[in-house]
Amino acid sequence: NRIRAPTPTNPTISRPPWVGLGRQAAGRHVRVTMRAQAPETPARTRIGGGVAVQGSRVGERARQRLAALLRADRPEAERWLSRIREIGAVEGIPSFSETVRLLTHLDVPDGEARALLGEVLRHRDELAGFLGRDPGLRVAAIDYLSNVDRRLVNPKIVEMSEFERTAKSASTDPLTRLYNRRFFRDALDREVRRSRRYGVGLSLVMFDIDDFKRINDAFGHLFGDLVLEHVGRLLRRSVREADVACRYGGEEFALILPETDRLGAHAVAARIRVRIESRFAAEPTGGRTVAVTLSGGISTYPEDGLDPDVLVSRADEALYLAKRAGKNRITLFHHEKRRWVRFPARGGARVRVEGEGESGASRATAVNVSRNGVLIETADPLPPASPVRVHLGRGEEESRSDGWDVPGRVVRVESASGSGSRFRIGVAFDRLVPEECLAAQAEGPRRPAARAGRGGAR
């Protein structure tokens, strides 16, 4: 019979912890932090052939939603368990395991955690019948785990807000107030698993401050710290709630962009690069106006890798290419032999192609575009290797007064698929077009509308 007078595991406690609590204390959000298990309970419990995972890999938003459920110390059992299950389904996390960890600081598998919470709720009902009042979830948990289940030894009671501040400080870089590298590794692993499960994209951006050693050598490390602090602030203000901005180490930063394709990640990274360059050029830092720029490299799941370590490696390779190409730029990792990545052309993007001699001018539709070439579809074929001039407009109308005239040469001519009267023509530019031109021609970034619980738009 579980309804028996509990034998305290700590002899210095001579009365149940809930006796004498006033209304204010009883309503406060208190966390029971559990240290060590009883000797007969192993630290890593094998359940159904699996091993309990140590440590939390749950995002901040999901943790906050679960913590909000724990603020109600006297929840209705079935509804409360149902809400935990819903959060797990929406966020793609082991929600019962995380709820037990938040409540007790114990790491148990999700199935065992669900059963354990059910036992705690039943024990709460038994205590209520024995005491003539509801003791609440936390008191029931500490009594059950200390005196019935006996996996706890010498538990400590601490205010939840204080515990969360301590936990957050362990995952946050104190200088930039971004997440630290340890949190980054867990977050990237979590987001890759989520992308794999739901079939959505994911992009990773690695940033590095250009010539940061020169800044430190010229102005000192305290000034360098001030630069890092401002860069961290700008990064925090430039991302969605669902994104994860981290200080990777030294002057290097990482940005995890869930549900973001290559072009979307490039747009975000380029905006951050311009924002940081403009801020340091326009405003003094520590009484000095110093030019500060960023270079960035991007990798995307699943195109560039299926594993977190591979994505980091590929983003680093792209970052190295950005540095080698002159710094202060964003580079996408790609497997293609061509140097510049091609992007799908914006729907309705029109171009004008002018050949030499009798070829004259013809209108065409852009299929895809890069900084060093364009693939167009037109009814008028052009001779291979012939020189041409391509006009790339800013809008759907290719007005000569608004756009870019780029000389080039025809490198490929073939019949368009399913049509004998239209042709696809590849043109290599004689010079690189500016990024502004590429952005005007390429299809806009496809960043989906925010799902419930995943943060707002940028």
Distance (Å, rounded) from C-alpha 180 to C-alpha 150?
36
Q: Determine the 3-state secondary structure of 433 from DSSP.
A: coil
For every residue of 167-181, DSSP letters joined together read: HHHHHB-TTT-SB-H
Give me the amino acid identity at 239.
Answer: V
* Among candidate residues 110, 66, 112, the one with its CA nearest the CA of residue 87: 66
The answer to whether the beta carbons of residues 422 and 416 sit under 8 Å apart is yes
Backbone angles phi, psi at 318, to 5 degrees: -65, -40
Helix locations, 8-149, DSSP H: 23-27, 60-70, 77-91, 95-104, 110-131, 137-143
Q: Which two tokens stand for residue 417?
A: 């698929």
Helix (H, G, I), strand (E, B) or coil at 347: coil
- 3-state SS track over 147-165: HHCCCCCCCEEEEHHHHHH
**What residues are annotated to the active site?**
251
Q: Exposed (0-12), middle (13-18) or buried (19+): which is 314, by Cβ within 10 Å?
A: buried
Q: Is 135 exposed, middle or buried (CB count within 10 Å of its CB: 0-12, 13-18, 19+)?
A: buried
Sign of the torsion formed by the C-alpha atoms of 210, 212, 215 and 218? negative
Overall residue count recorded for the chain in this entry: 458
Q: Distance of CA 198 to CAs 33, 88, 124, 451, Å?
A: 34, 14, 37, 13
Chain centroid, CA 83 distance in Å? 24
Structure tokens at 41: 């309970």
Contact between 271 and 264 under an 8 Å Cβ cutoff? The reply is: no
Whole-angstrom distance, CA of residue 73 vs CA of residue 70: 6
